[in-house]
Chains A and B, each alone.
Chain A
Amino acid sequence: MIAENLSESSFENSSNTFVVHAGDYLNKLSGEKIERECKIRLEQGCKELVVDFSQTEIINSIGISILLGVIDSAENLGAKIIFSDLNAESIELFEMLGLTKHVTIA
């Protein structure tokens, strides 16, 4: 039920690209749902995953962990990840923690 709702509100489909709206789900245990959904899409053959941070102000450690999970799945399946609309602080944090080494910042 929840996963379905999430896929309606947080995921957009255009050919082999999926857009995920990070929102503020990421920073809680509920962010695991986003991670699971991404994994399913990647396993279904999605080759490009865009994570949209336009609605995301701060990213905490749980959010980072969830994103690392998504990155790990994508790398295992040979898919590309794009982080879009990140604010300056988040970029700094991602660089520091090494996330930027695994994704494209757009």
Chain B
Amino acid sequence: MIEERTKLVHAFGALAELGQEVANRHNFQETIRTSLHLISGALGIMRGGVARYSRYGHELNMLAVRGLGDDFPLSLSLCLEDERQFLTNGLNPIETSHARVLPFFQVYDRSFESRRIELFVPLVIRDEIVGAIFLGEKATGETYSSYEKEIICAMGRHIGVAVAQRNLMAEIERQTAENRKLFDDLRTTYNDTVKAFAAAIDCKDKYTEGHSVRVGRYSEIIAAELEWGTAEVEGAATAGYLHDVGKLTVERKIINAPYRINAKESAELNKHPAVGYEILQPIHHPYTDVPLAAKYHHERLDGRGYPDGLYDREIPYIAKIVNLADSFDAMTTDRPYKARRQAPDVVEDLKRNAGKQFAPELVTAFLRGMLREISGDAKDKKFRRLLGREYMETEGMVPLLRKTLNEMKPTSSLTYIAASVGGDGPRH
């Protein structure tokens, strides 16, 4: 009787330790190995193994083995009949010598016999087989008593839960990876659609072919120069690509007019930011502010822009970026009524209008990006690709950019109030 009690105390100690081990969940492999030790040590079992069940492969794959030798299979197949019987049996030890009717025990009979596997415990958790425990003979040579089987059941439940949790985690990880892939696919699709849209917008305006695409690229350069994150830089590019989407509703002859348009035509054209906002606003964009960039890309820091005549801080930041990119493209491409200006002249213009039309820190960022490319620090020659080498890398550009950047000290946001001279902004 005393011996029985000592045995129980010892076994319950192991059970408590196993519960803690499973709850702590440091490392799954170690948890399983420890579990096998605890079962073996609790009841004095010579050898055994713990396996995880693969529902897809219909096989038990060994996670931990003790004393099973090199010949014991590490992967054991179950047929449907075995599966059904184990589910009916539940998490209870099966004596291998009494279960020869099942295909599983017929197939692996010799392996079980040679390693003296006496008990097989299917780990059934919530009506699902998650694994199994194989147990060899006891060191005493006696058969397993019913109380020992009870203890094995209790320990088996802990191990089964650990395996089920692990399976669940693996499934969640797989789904997360799949979701991420799906999200990436969606983003790619969105970006491709945006580019296709930009091309469509540009088609309407034969004199400014490629304008939206270039504004997208310049906006991207500015955002990257501000050290924004990848998604934000992509958002800035998108805002640039789509800023003139409202032009789709403006009559083609106004857009393509080879002369300076009159007031009425101008009023018609000036609706395009608001129209653009109406078009973009109902769409769910992965990046914020794309509709606002369209709405306010003709606003100026000094309040002399349109449609709302907003001042500096009232203008969304992304709209300021697109405005700078848009103006830069207007100055650096030929228009029906105006040839493009030379690069040094454009740099001077940006500097002169910093604080009036443009946010000074954006001009600085843009010029810094330009300097890095021309002076050879940047590998990716974005400006060269968009404007040509001869145009951008003209003599005196590097010293000019250096000088300009030096001179452009941080400007007070109030400077523009005193300013009376307007900038040479884009004309649409």
The answer on a CB contact under 8 Å between B17 and A72 is no
The answer on a CB contact under 8 Å between A93 and B139 is no
The answer on a CB contact under 8 Å between A97 and B38 is no
The answer on a CB contact under 8 Å between B17 and A61 is yes
The answer on a CB contact under 8 Å between A60 and B13 is yes
Contact of B34 among A62, A92, A93, A99 (CB under 8 A): A62
**8 Å CB interface, B42-70 against A:** 42-47, 66-67
The answer on a CB contact under 8 Å between B37 and A101 is no
**8 Å CB interface, B8-62 against A:** 10, 13-14, 17, 30, 33-34, 36-38, 40-47
**Which residues in B have their C-beta under 8 angstroms from that of A102?**
139
Q: A61-B41, A68-B41, A98-B141 are in contact. Are A93 and B66 (CB under 8 A)?
A: no
The answer on a CB contact under 8 Å between A63 and B140 is no
The answer on a CB contact under 8 Å between A60 and B17 is yes
Residue from A29, A65, A69, A97 with most neighbouring chain B CB atoms (10 Å): A65
**Which residues in B have their C-beta under 8 angstroms from that of A73?**
67
Give chain B's interface secondary structure class. Answer: helix
Give chain A's interface secondary structure class. Answer: helix
Q: A60-B41, A61-B14, A63-B41 are in contact. Are A68 and B46 (CB under 8 A)?
A: yes
User: For the complex, is B252 an interface residue (Cβ under 8 Å from A)?
Assistant: no
The answer on a CB contact under 8 Å between B3 and A96 is yes
User: For the complex, is B381 an interface residue (Cβ under 8 Å from A)?
Assistant: no
Nearest Cβ in chain B — how far from A88, in angstroms? 12
The answer on a CB contact under 8 Å between A96 and B6 is yes
Nearest Cβ in chain A — how far from B392, in angstroms? 60
Closest Cβ neighbor of A95 among chain B residues: B3
User: For the complex, is B138 an interface residue (Cβ under 8 Å from A)?
Assistant: yes
The answer on a CB contact under 8 Å between A65 and B140 is no
User: For the complex, is A66 an interface residue (Cβ under 8 Å from B)?
Assistant: yes
The answer on a CB contact under 8 Å between A62 and B141 is no
User: For the complex, is A49 an interface residue (Cβ under 8 Å from B)?
Assistant: no
A 79-101 binary contact with B (CB < 8 Å = 1; else 0): 00000000000001100111101
Q: A60-B13, A72-B67, A98-B141 are in contact. Are A92 and B6 (CB under 8 A)?
A: yes
A 45-68 binary contact with B (CB < 8 Å = 1; else 0): 000000000000000111111101
The answer on a CB contact under 8 Å between B6 and A29 is no
Q: A60-B17, A68-B44, A68-B45 are in contact. Are A98 and B139 (CB under 8 A)?
A: yes
Q: A93-B10, A96-B6 are in contact. Are A66 and B67 (CB under 8 A)?
A: no
A 25-37 binary contact with B (CB < 8 Å = 1; else 0): 0000100100000
Nearest Cβ in chain A — how far from B149, in angstroms? 16
The answer on a CB contact under 8 Å between A62 and B30 is no
**Which residues in B have their C-beta under 8 angstroms from that of A92?**
6
Nearest Cβ in chain B — how far from A22, in angstroms? 14
Closest Cβ neighbor of A75 among chain B residues: B46
The answer on a CB contact under 8 Å between B13 and A61 is yes
Alpha-carbon distance between A101 and B138 when the two chains are bound, in angstroms: 11
The answer on a CB contact under 8 Å between A65 and B7 is no
Closest Cβ neighbor of B33 among chain A residues: A29
The answer on a CB contact under 8 Å between A61 and B10 is yes
Closest Cβ neighbor of B140 among chain A residues: A98
Alpha-carbon distance between A92 and B2 when the two chains are bound, in angstroms: 11
The answer on a CB contact under 8 Å between B3 and A65 is no
Instruction: Taking A61-B38, A68-B67 as given, write out 16 further A-B residue pairs in contact, using a Cβ cutoff of 8 Å, ordered by the A residue number.
Output: A32-B33, A62-B38, A63-B41, A64-B44, A65-B40, A66-B41, A68-B41, A68-B44, A68-B46, A92-B6, A93-B10, A96-B3, A97-B7, A97-B138, A98-B138, A99-B139
A/B interface sample: 8 pairs, CB < 8 A:
A60-B17, A61-B10, A66-B41, A71-B139, A72-B67, A93-B6, A97-B138, A101-B140
